[in-house]
């Protein structure tokens, strides 16, 4: 049976997770604004690069990179929100695979961890 984390410990991690959620949401908002600005400038008449030239290829590569970074941030935000839900459910700090406690050292590094070290290695 997993040990139950003290309320003060869960509250500490909840505060960290809420800060991380706000930071990630801000990054996502910034990415979306930058991507929208890039789309608008790309479609404007003063900058409509020929799809075959190097500038267009560079623009496409940069756009794809921004989309990838944004998607990774969205995925991380999902993990943070899932961890926050676990704090509300009373299951925060318990491995989803084996039901054992996730070590505090692991939660300090990855407060959104849902698996203990052993189970994370197996996945």
Whether 1 maps to a domain, the answer reads no
Please give the tally of structural domains in the chain.
1
- pLDDT given for residue 113 in this prediction: 97
pLDDT tens for each residue of 19-36: 999 999 999 999 889 888
**CA–CA separation, 109 and 18 (whole Å):** 15
State the Cα–Cα distance between residues 24 and 57, nearest whole angstrom. 29
Q: Report the distance separating Cα 115 and Cα 17, nearest Å.
A: 17
pLDDT, one tens digit per residue, over 100-123 is 999 999 999 999 999 999 999 998
Question: Would 2 be classed as within a structural domain?
Answer: no
* Helix-helix angle 54-89:7-43, to 10 degrees: 160
> Has residue 96 been placed in a domain?
yes
Answer whether residue 53 shows pLDDT above 70.
Answer: no
Range of 24's domain?
A: 7-122
Q: What percent of the chain shows pLDDT beyond 90?
A: 64
Structural domain contains residue 115: yes
Burial class (CB in 10 A: 0-12, 13-18, 19+), 86: buried
- b (16+ CB within 10 A) / e for 26-49: ebbeebeeeeeeeeeeeeeeeeee
Give me the pLDDT at residue 45, please: 45
The structure tokens listed for 100 are 């054992």
CA distances from 21 to 53, 77, 119 (A): 40, 6, 25
CATH number at residue 82: 1.20.120.910
């Amino acid at each position: 049976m997993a040990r139950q984390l003290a309320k003060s410990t869960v509250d500490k991690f909840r505060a960290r997770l809420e800060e991380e959620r706000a930071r990630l949401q801000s990054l996502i908002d910034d990415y979306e604004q930058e991507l929208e600005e890039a789309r608008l400038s790309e479609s404007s008449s003063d900058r409509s690069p020929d799809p075959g030239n190097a500038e267009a290829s560079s623009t496409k590569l940069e756009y794809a990179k921004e989309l990838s970074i944004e998607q990774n941030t969205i995925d991380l935000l999902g993990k943070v929100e899932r961890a926050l839900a676990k704090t509300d459910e009373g299951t925060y700090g318990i491995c989803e695979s084996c039901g054992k406690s996730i070590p505090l050292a692991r939660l300090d590094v990855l407060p959104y961890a849902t698996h203990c070290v052993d189970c994370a290695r197996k996945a």
